[in-house]
Structure 1
Amino acid sequence: MGRWEPGARERLVMAAVDLFTEQGYDATTVTQIAERAGVTKSTFFRHFPDKRELLVAGQETLCRLLTEGITEAPSGASPLEAVAAGLERASTAMGPMSREIAPRLKAAVAASTELQERDALKSVSLAAAMTTALVARGVSDPAAAVASELAVLAFKRGYAEWSEADRAPDDGFAACLRKALDELRTASASLGLG
């Protein structure tokens, strides 16, 4: 495979997830990932600083989409309506490849403390980006933080349902996110806060 062939980033992610699943995260080297993806080691490093970053490859895009959705929500939208708009926008980034690798990625993360830590940092980063976008809309910091944490939890729950459900690969990620956020909204109301 030529070193400039398109799709190298996606092939690297798929190769890494496959190798992490087959032999474990710690036993997998960058060289093995590059070889499995059909690229050179230097191509790997053009796309990722290290093998940990493979698992958060779309994080920047996800943060951008979440914040764009929040920013572009109608001016009278509540904080939860704004994060719902962010989740809706973010759902556009999740295609068949995301759904295909989800079970293997989940297994790789569950088997590695280092990957669990990286996954937790991803959640913190997503919440911080959404909180900043909500505060920019005039939402108080505490309300923005609560809405953002609910959105992260909704994203995780919706992603789990979407990736584990027995349906067509492109069926309803946005619907899974809306359902998860609605369930969390109802659960929050039942706590008697307010």
Structure 2
Amino acid sequence: MPRSGAEARHRLQRAALELYLERGFDQTTAAEIAARAGVNERTFFRHFPDKREVLFDGEADLRAALVRAVVDAPAGRGPFEVLLCAFRKSARNLEDNRPFSEPRWKVIAATPALRERELAKHALLVDAVAEALRQRGVGDGLADLAARTGWAAYQHATQAWVDDPAQSLDAHLLRAFEDLRALSATAFPERAQAES
């Protein structure tokens, strides 16, 4: 039996992930997860409200950390510099948890209900980051656009890191934001030409 709450939580997460990979998310019950972890079902529900949340544990902490990093960033930085700094800080945690993150992504990708849940969690995160940018004085529309674009760059970097783990997530993040800057610096045709 696990001796601490943190140990039980970790064992439940590991057991859930193993079972989801073996049987699939829909075919796995909370009772089976608890049994695999060596705890009772009541202990499972003391740690997680449902079997989906095992895979999304830490999302609220990530959201709070990103908001804090955006709000606390030095004055004078533009929205993308602020976001890059915040995402680089959060990337360290993701890199440290890679053994859990990669199989987690596989389970989510294979389960439509989990993909939907992940999109909802990401929307909350983007909204919180946009609000943090507004607190820094960034206008409403620009804050929303920067948060959505920055999050897309973060997700792009994360996927590149999964595909190419030889480079750090930090290196992929830097490249994604450099590419974003390059895209935004691309000259656009005259408005009159675009409208014709």
TM-score range, shorter chain: 0.7 to 0.9
Q: 1:4 to 1:115 in 2, by over 3 A?
A: same
Measured after TM superposition, the shift of residue 95 of structure 1 is: 4.0
Give runs of aligned pairs for residues 13-52 of structure 1, distance below 5 A. 13-52=13-52
In 2, Cα distance between equivalents of 1:182 and 1:148: 16
Measured after TM superposition, the shift of residue 108 of structure 1 is: 1.1
- Tell me the alpha carbon deviations over residues 31-70 of structure 1, each in whole angstroms, 9 at most, x when there is no partner: 1111222222122112110011112111111111111111
Kept after mapping to 1: 8 A contact 2:71/2:132 = yes
Work out whether 1:172 is the aligned partner of 2:129.
no
Kept after mapping to 1: 8 A contact 2:94/2:101 = no
Q: 1:103 to 1:22 in 2, by over 3 A?
A: same
Q: 1:6 to 1:180 in 2, by over 3 A?
A: same
Give runs of aligned pairs for residues 1-194 of structure 1, distance below 5 A. 1-2=1-2, 4=4, 6-96=6-96, 98-167=97-166, 172-190=168-186, 192=188
Kept after mapping to 2: 8 A contact 1:70/1:130 = yes
Measured on the aligned residues, the alpha-carbon RMSD in Å equals 2.2
2:52 is paired with a residue of what secondary structure?
A: helix
Larger mean CA deviation between 18-27 and 7-16 belongs to 7-16
2:75 is paired with a residue of what secondary structure?
A: coil
- Tell me the alpha carbon deviations over residues 126-156 of structure 1, each in whole angstroms, 9 at most, x when there is no partner: 1011001000000001111111112211221
Structure 2 residue identity aligned to 1:93 = N
Q: 1:84 to 1:109 in 2, by over 3 A?
A: same
Q: 1:187 to 1:8 in 2, by over 3 A?
A: farther
Identity of aligned residues (%): 35
Larger mean CA deviation between 182-191 and 57-66 belongs to 182-191
Structure 2 residue identity aligned to 1:78 = G
In 2, Cα distance between equivalents of 1:120 and 1:22: 24
> 2:194 maps to which residue?
none
1:131 is paired with a residue of what secondary structure?
A: helix
Q: 1:48 to 1:20 in 2, by over 3 A?
A: same
What stretches of structure 1 of length at least 5 have no aligned partner? none
Structure 1 residue identity aligned to 2:17 = V
Kept after mapping to 1: 8 A contact 2:48/2:54 = yes
Look at both structures and tell me which one has the larger radius of gyration over its CA atoms: 2
Query: What count of residue pairs does the alignment treat as equivalent?
Result: 190
Structure 1 residue identity aligned to 2:147 = S
What stretches of structure 2 of length at least 5 have no aligned partner? 192-196
Measured after TM superposition, the shift of residue 73 of structure 1 is: 1.2
